[in-house]
Chain A
Amino acid sequence: MSRRNYEGVAVAVPVTVPYVRYSIKSAHWFIARALKALLERAGLQKSEVDGACISGFLLFPDTGVGLMQYLGLSPRWLDHIPMGGASAVVALRRAARAVQSGDAEIVACIAGDTNHVDSFRLTIASFSQFARDAVYPYGSGGPNANFAFLTDYFMRTRGARREDFGKLCIAQRHNALSFPYALFKKPLSMEEYLGARPIAEPLHLFDCVMPCAGAEGFLVMGEARARALDLPFARVRATIERHNAFPDDPIQIRGGWALERDSLWNQAGLGPQDMNLVELYDDYPVITAMQLEDLGFCAPGNVVQLIRDSTFTTEGSLPLNTSGGQLSVGQAGAAGGYLGLVECLRQLTGQPLGARVADARRGLVSGFGMINYDRGLCTGAVVLEAGHE
């Protein structure tokens, strides 16, 4: 049976609650600010939002449920998605079907997190049962150590050099310079990248995402409603998700995208070459490279050549993470998973905050989340298309 398309669904109103390195506010505060911005930008009353989809690591002990009372919302459709970097893609998939089926008319998708001075350590110390039992007692390096393993293996098997990852990081930093919410505001040179202090070899400082506080959100509704509200919107051409893919691989060298890639492009009726911009989950550059390969931007095993042959700035041959990505904007907890989708939506609806991708009509957004033990488990991707002609 062929998969049903997302006809009639509109994604609109990209909002960002500005990022800060540390905050004394709670995750709840950041999510509330995002909701308020969504309502103001859309010209909606709170009561008109009848669906909500929430993500946030630091909501504990609350979930999306408690947050509804906190925010005074009474939705008839509610989801809480604890998938970290895959949260936005998965939230959009769920919300689109809810709207399409009539279970909800307007769904607010929001991810937000705070960052107190010691909250990141506490989060990773109890991130999962497997992490607590079998990873954290080994040096307590957190995600840096996990991605160091993946990077070490990837470099050896794919022949990647540090310069290849550096190229991605430097291009993203270039993109971030015009993006007002980016926490990193200085250009990055290859010399600085290569000379940075080691964190978890082979990872060095500029390979590692910086935790911060912030929130991101968007609305999902019917196209007719978006037009009535006079909101520029994007359409959903295709989506995929896959969890715990390739469990027999001894170490992660590919993700669920590799299993679902054909399904994605078939549903979209498009291919990688049709994308005007690409927003990939980028807490570490190795995972960006993995997504480029798994999502079909090059033949399997050839991503290093792709990196060497392409330019990734907003004006480049393959515009990548056009707001700077998490590596240059910061990782606001679960909102890190939303950063790319919200940026893609801005570009496709003609309202970028920084540099504009020329003639941006189609974009790919990919998510990756939850290093439960030795690898990231949640993967997903979505192809968006501008709603205007």
Chain B
Amino acid sequence: MTEPIRRPKRKNPVLRTRLPVLPPWPRSRIALGLTAAAAEGRFALQVCANCGAVQYPPRESCHRCLSDRLAWREQSGEGQLISQTLLHHSHDIFFRERVPWRLGMVQLDSGPTVVVHLHGAVGAPPARLRVGARLDKAGMGVLVGFPEKDVPHMADDRQLREMTCDPKFRKAFITDGKTRVGQALTHALVGAGADLVWVGHAEPWKQFPGLAELSDLPQVSLVRLDVTDARSVKEAAGEFGAKVDILINNAEVHRTHGIASRYGTDVARAEMEVNYLGLLRLAQEFGPVMRARAADGQSSAVAWVNLLSIFALSNFPAHGTYSASKAAALSLAQCLRAEMRPAGLRVINIFPGPIEDEWNQLLPPPKLAPEAVARAVVAALKDGVEDVYPGDVAQEWLARWRESPKVLERELAGQ
């Protein structure tokens, strides 16, 4: 088993907060295939379409038959730990601050030998284990050797916790508690061991369903927040921004209709005010202080989660202006990710299909339960992935979009 982490002591305000540094991030372009898969929680290696050889490290030619038809294919990761070392000395500042650091050399059952960050619960070599891919603090795909079977408190492994955004003993901020998704997120974060959850609501004088259940949770603190109001966002950041480890922006306005069926720009503007500009306001107020706390010990600031929509990938004309606002938010989230990366903060984008709520009333099933969205968010935090497409509808859109964005556009337009 893994030694469980303890609740961190109250921070000593006299001590300087450690500045965030990153593990080495330079990679060749071809090696980024590992990162692309790891960003979605998959461990993929190059497999030769001609001779079937699995190869690592990545290259642009098959080491066996010299074919260049190489595709990234998901791997089981099963293999044998053949050698290990415990590093006490490193040339890199990130690791220098974190030694001793355990590494392994693994012969995968599929053939290649890989160097991995080795989980503490894996036995001494020779030992069976399974290799998975994770994003490291630099947001780059790396390989991790996990014990063959799960052990208690596995996520608490000191090295693994540097690559994940586990909510345990962390403080989270959920920007809108009024929606069913917001409430499900709050319950899920508390269930995942979050120490404290600030939950925003724009109109505190209004009672909304579920409010009482939220207020009853000892970890929850309700705060006034209107993401359309710059002053409100600034005040919230000033009040508790320096304590937020995980920010989940689920505030959204969702109306139906496209261009012709709803005349004027008022609704579209309201969607942009919340879905796009709301994100921008939050990022400007909370981003800098979270970046500054990205190496603040065991419970550092780690993640920023955006509730987007699968409609951000390609416009769904029946919800046309909403799709456009989510596409804008996606683009801005990519900018935010680039700006958070130097501190090692993960930006997680959630792309759900239609959620079971009043604005998707007319859409056919399957629709995502708010609890399923919340589970997907917590899983993404625990695994440290960047992009999540929860539910069957999102998965199908994603597959169609990957195959051909143009064909999907035509399909969505009604053929």
Contacts and interface: CB of A to CB of B under 8 A. Distances in A.
Interface string B297-333: 0000000000000000000000000000000000000
Given A149-B83, A152-B125, A140 B90 contact: yes
A133 B58 contact: yes
Given A132-B27, A251-B105, A144 B89 contact: yes
Interface in B60-110: 63, 82-92, 94-95, 99, 101, 103, 105, 107
A138 B115 contact: yes
Interface stretch (A65-73, A196-204, A255-263): A196-204
Interface in A109-158: 120-121, 124-126, 129-130, 132-142, 144-145, 148-150, 152-153, 156
Given A134-B31, A138-B116, A121 B91 contact: yes
B28 interface: yes
A142 B57 contact: no
A266 B63 CA distance: 32
Contact of A156 (B25, B101, B125, B138): B125
A49 B123 CA distance: 59
A251 B87 contact: no
B56 interface: yes
Given A133-B27, A200-B86, A201-B85, A138 B105 contact: no
A251 B79 CA distance: 14
B57 A137 contact: no
Contacts of B116: 138
A69 B214 CA distance: 77
B163 to A, nearest CB: 11
Contacts of B92: 121, 125, 136, 139-140
Contacts of A130: 57
A251 B82 contact: yes
A256 to B, nearest CB: 18
Nearest to B94: A140
Contacts of A136: 24, 92
A250 interface: yes
Contact of A148 (B85, B114, B125): B85
Contact of B87 (A125, A152, A200, A373): A200
A137 B140 contact: yes
Interface string A191-209: 0000001111111000000
Given A134-B115, A138-B116, A198 B86 contact: yes
Contacts of B26: 125-126, 132
B94 to A, nearest CB: 8
A137 B142 contact: yes
Contacts of B91: 120-121, 124-125, 140-142
Residue of B56, B58, B83, B117 with highest tally of chain A CB at under 10 A = B83
B125 A198 contact: no
B24 A152 contact: no
B89 A199 contact: yes
A130 B25 CA distance: 13
Residue of B23, B90, B91, B136 with highest tally of chain A CB at under 10 A = B91
A294 interface: no
Contacts of B2: none
A135 B105 CA distance: 10
A105 interface: no
Contacts of B360: none
B85 A145 contact: yes
A129 B28 contact: yes
A125 B59 CA distance: 19
Contacts of A145: 85, 87, 103
A374 interface: yes
B36 to A, nearest CB: 14
A203 B84 CA distance: 11
A251 B83 contact: yes
B85 A135 contact: no
Interface string A355-389: 00000000000000000011000000000000000
Contact of B105 (A125, A149, A156, A202): A149
A242 to B, nearest CB: 18
B83 A201 contact: no
A28 to B, nearest CB: 25
Nearest to B102: A139
Residue of A137, A153, A201 with highest tally of chain B CB at under 10 A = A137
A134 B28 CA distance: 10
A138 to B, nearest CB: 5
A134 B57 contact: yes
Nearest to A135: B115
B394 to A, nearest CB: 31
B125 A250 contact: no
A156 B140 CA distance: 33
Contacts of B31: 133-134
Contacts of A203: 85
B90 A152 contact: no
Interface string B21-43: 00111111001000000000000
Nearest to A132: B26
A141 B57 contact: no
A22 B284 CA distance: 46
B391 to A, nearest CB: 33
Contacts of A198: 86, 88
A149 B87 CA distance: 11
B103 A141 contact: yes
B28 A138 contact: no
Contact of A373 (B28, B57, B84): B57
B179 interface: no
Contact of B82 (A120, A121, A137, A250): A250
A166 to B, nearest CB: 18
B113 interface: yes
A125 B99 CA distance: 18
A389 B56 CA distance: 53
Given A132-B27, A134-B115, A137-B140, A199 B125 contact: no
Nearest to A201: B86
A132 B28 CA distance: 8
A198 B90 CA distance: 12
Contacts of B24: 125, 132, 136-137, 140
A118 to B, nearest CB: 9
Given A130-B57, A137-B140, A150 B28 contact: no
Given A152-B85, A373-B57, A250 B113 contact: yes
Interface of A: 120-121, 124-126, 129-130, 132-142, 144-145, 148-150, 152-153, 156, 197-203, 247, 250-251, 373-374
Given A139-B92, A201-B88, 6 more contacts: A120-B91, A134-B115, A138-B103, A141-B91, A153-B125, A198-B86
26 contacts: A121-B91, A125-B26, A125-B91, A126-B26, A134-B115, A135-B115, A138-B116, A139-B90, A139-B92, A139-B99, A139-B101, A140-B91, A141-B95, A142-B91, A144-B89, A148-B85, A149-B83, A149-B103, A149-B115, A153-B82, A153-B105, A198-B86, A200-B85, A203-B85, A250-B82, A250-B107
**What are the 6 tightest A-B residue pairs by CB atom distance, in nearest-first order?**
A140-B92, A148-B85, A133-B31, A134-B57, A250-B107, A201-B86
